[in-house]
């Protein structure tokens, strides 16, 4: 006499299916936030942005850059807007303005090396003057509480305005970078 195993095969298939579905749901739940984190980091500290931030840093470190305004701005609002017009040498100023345009710099800030004071400012207040995406980048950055190996006192944060590479992609997007300023 032959046994009827049709019910056992059905139950075994259901158990395996539930197990596989549970494993895939756990993988999805843990993997999906990583995709969002990757997409966000794609625009932070990429090679082009680091290169641009380096050049803005070079101008901030020049002897012709007026740091007196920076000190007063840092005391009142925890950041100072970098401007090529603060360079007293006309050759430095014109070179800075040319690089500003070529690098597609939207805005640049000078802050203290340690970002704790800047991060203590209300996010909505910062977003009003800087923009929400720039504030998101600032919140993403570590506080840099360990002293700089180069004895840097300031940090420059730069926002770049980029456009799509092809005619089909006209969207403007922003990239960000930071560098320490030794001055």
Q: What angle do CA 134, 137, 143 make, to 5 degrees?
A: 125
Q: What is the pLDDT of residues 106-157, one digit of tens each?
A: 999 999 999 999 998 888 888 899 999 899 899 989 998 888 888 899 999 9
Is the pLDDT at 56 greater than 70, yes or no? Answer: yes
> In this predicted model, which residue has the larger pLDDT, 35 or 52?
52
Q: With bands split at pLDDT 50, 70 and 90, how would you rate the model's confidence at 21?
A: very high
Helix, strand counts (H, E) of the chain: 7, 4
Is the pLDDT at 16 greater than 60, yes or no? Answer: yes
Residue with tokens 């040319």: 98
pLDDT value of position 91: 94
Backbone phi and psi for residue 171, each to the nearest 5 degrees, phi listed first: -65, 140
Mean pLDDT across the chain: 87
Q: What angle do CA 158, 135, 105 make, to 5 degrees?
A: 25
Is the pLDDT at 38 greater than 80, yes or no? Answer: no
pLDDT value of position 30: 84
DSSP 147: P
């Amino acid at each position: 006499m032959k046994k009827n195993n049709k019910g056992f095969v059905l139950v075994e298939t259901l158990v395996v299916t539930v197990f596989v579905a549970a494993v895939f749901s756990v993988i999805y739940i843990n993997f999906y936030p990583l995709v969002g984190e990757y997409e966000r980091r794609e625009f932070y500290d990429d090679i082009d942005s680091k290169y641009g931030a380096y050049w803005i840093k070079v101008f901030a470190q020049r002897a012709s850059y007026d740091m007196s305004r920076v000190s007063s701005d840092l005391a009142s609002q925890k950041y100072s807007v970098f401007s090529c017009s603060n360079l007293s040498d006309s050759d430095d100023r014109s070179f800075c303005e040319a690089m500003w345009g070529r690098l597609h710099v939207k805005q640049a800030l000078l802050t203290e090396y340690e970002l704790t004071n800047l991060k203590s400012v209300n996010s909505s207040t910062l977003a009003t003057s800087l923009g929400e995406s720039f504030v998101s980048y600032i919140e993403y950055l570590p506080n840099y509480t360990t002293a700089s190996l180069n004895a840097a006192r300031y940090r420059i944060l730069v926002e770049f305005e980029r456009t799509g590479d092809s005619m089909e992609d006209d969207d403007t997007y922003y990239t960000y970078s930071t560098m320490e300023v030794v001055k």
